Amino acid sequence: MTASPLVMLMSSNGAGMGHLTRLLAYAVRLPPPVRRYVLAMSQAVPVVSQYGYRYEYLPSAGAVGMANSSWQPLFQERLEEIVGRVGPDLVVFDGTHPYAGMDVVRAAHPGTRWVWSRRGMWKPGRSADQLAKASWFDEVIEPGDLAAPYDEGAAASALAYRVGPVTLADPGDLLPREEARARLGLPAQGRIGLISLGAGNINDTSGDVGAAAAALRHTGCGVAVTQVDIAREAVGGDVHAVRAYPLAPCYSAFDVVFAAAGYNSFHELLRLGIPTAFVPNRDTALDDQDARSRYAADQGWAVRLDHVSVDAASAAIWTLLEHGSDMAAAAVGADPGNGAAEAAGRLVAVMGA
């Protein structure tokens, strides 16, 4: 009896969710006979268990506090052992910097096909040297970006099999407001805004998180945050910590959202029609969140804030409360559809299954 084909989905990075979420978007759309195995450098990898997939964690250099020069041989050795033990027919790597040693492991397992899932919107002038690593792979798939017209990075003109923007959630997954609030443990009544801007001091209005929280309070909105530690620090205990994965189906719980313009949050919020103020994170190594958020604002889909002050955030909230539904509807109307299913189909084709 021949075993059904096996795809190993491999994510880069340490604590973030972006690469892992994109791989799950592919995984859930693979046809049933295909087996899935997740190898993640994300410390959040246990969320994979809710999908019924086998997984293991491969710590990044940063997670174990090692210099890259010391970590790289260990990574190569570990990856070689995993590929030999798991025996995938296809390895899908999602990241912008394929790690040294992946080419060696591939050469040692010639029967395994390899795909690079490489999103665009790279900051101009950065990482062009990484594009040569496409030769390590049988295929490069580029998840599309709604802000692609503003993409001036090196990957924009590189060869790739391009699909529509990829998200784990589809519009049909959005829960009714009452159900979403109940699932998140939020009050059933009243306006609530979500702050998803990473770490910060909620009691310091000179910072993004604190300014956004103060603005929500000033405009009569409840405050929810995605960082549990921030909620613990809140004065008065009126801040709700939001803990759910995936969170996107519960976005209907919120009247407005303050979010960074990373690939997943950007496309989920626009695709699901949520009134949003994007605050680009300019400290990313490669992801051009500034261009992405500028494009959304220029299309009238969202508000963009260069810096979050109480006054600027308050103005954004009033704009979104008054016009946000129309702005969100315009974004939904421009959505070309989820590219995850097409990407999954391409993976099957590359695998030859």
- Residue range of the domain that includes 208: 172-333
User: Domain for residue 151, yes or no?
Assistant: yes
Distance from first CA to last CA of the chain, Å, rounded?
A: 15
Cα–Cα distance between 12 and 17 in angstroms, integer? 10
Does residue 161 share a domain with residue 102?
yes
Residue 89 lies in a domain: yes
Q: Does one domain contain both 152 and 13?
A: yes
Is pTM beyond 0.85? Reply is yes
Per-residue pLDDT averaged across 4-29, rounded?
91
Question: Residue 230's pLDDT band (boundaries 50, 70, 90)?
Answer: low
Per-residue pLDDT at 2 exceeds 70? no
- The pLDDT of residue 329: 98
CATH of the domain at 43: 3.40.50.2000
Choose between 14 and 146: higher pLDDT.
Answer: 146
Question: How many domains does the chain contain in total?
Answer: 2
Same domain? For 66 and 125 the reply is: yes
Angle between helix axes 289-298 and 263-271 (nearest 10 degrees) is 20
Instruction: Tell whether 140 and 194 lie within a shared domain.
Output: no
- The verdict on 316 and 183 lying in the same domain is yes
Can the peptide bond before residue 246 be classed as cis, meaning omega within 30 degrees of 0?
Answer: yes
Query: Is 66 a member of any domain?
Result: yes
Q: Within a domain: residue 60?
A: yes
Give pLDDT, residue 36. Answer: 98
Same-domain check for residues 48 and 31: yes
User: 78-134, pLDDT tens digit by residue?
Assistant: 999 999 999 999 999 999 999 999 999 999 999 999 999 999 999 999 999 999 999
Tell me, yes or no, whether 278 lies in a domain.
yes
Do residue 147 and residue 213 come from a single domain?
A: no
Q: Quickly state the pLDDT bin for 278 (edges 50, 70, 90).
A: very high
Residue 322 lies in a domain: yes
Q: Quick one: 194 and 156 in the same domain?
A: no
Which among 100, 120, 130 is positioned nearest to 160, based on CA atoms? 120
Average confidence score pLDDT of the chain: 94
Confidence at 149, pLDDT banded by 50, 70, 90: very high
Per-residue pLDDT tens for 292-320? Answer: 999 999 999 999 999 899 999 999 999 99
- What pLDDT, on a 0 to 100 scale, did the predictor assign at position 155? 97
Residues 189 and 88 grouped into a single domain: no
Is residue 1, in this structure, part of any structural domain at all?
no
Tell me 287's DSSP state. Answer: B
Q: Is the pLDDT higher at 205 or at 32?
A: 32
Domain assignment present for residue 270? The answer is: yes
Whole-angstrom distance, CA of residue 145 vs CA of residue 56: 29
| Tens-digit pLDDT profile for residues 188-199 | 999 999 999 987
pLDDT at residue 235 is higher than 70:
no
On whether the CB atoms of residues 101 and 71 are closer than 8 A, the answer is no
| pLDDT of 1 strictly over 50 | no
Which of 31-35, 257-261, 349-353 shows the lowest mean pLDDT across its residues? 349-353
DSSP, collapsed to helix, strand or coil, labels residue 247 as: coil
Share of the chain above pLDDT 70, in %: 96
Do 329 and 197 fall into the same domain?
yes
Task: Give yes or no for a contact between 41 and 11, defined as CB atoms under 8 angstroms apart.
Answer: yes
DSSP string, 298-348: HTTSSEE-SS--HHHHHHHHHHHHHHHHHHHHHHHHT-----HHHHHHHHH
Q: Are residues 142 and 202 in the same domain?
A: no
Are 126 and 250 in the same domain? no
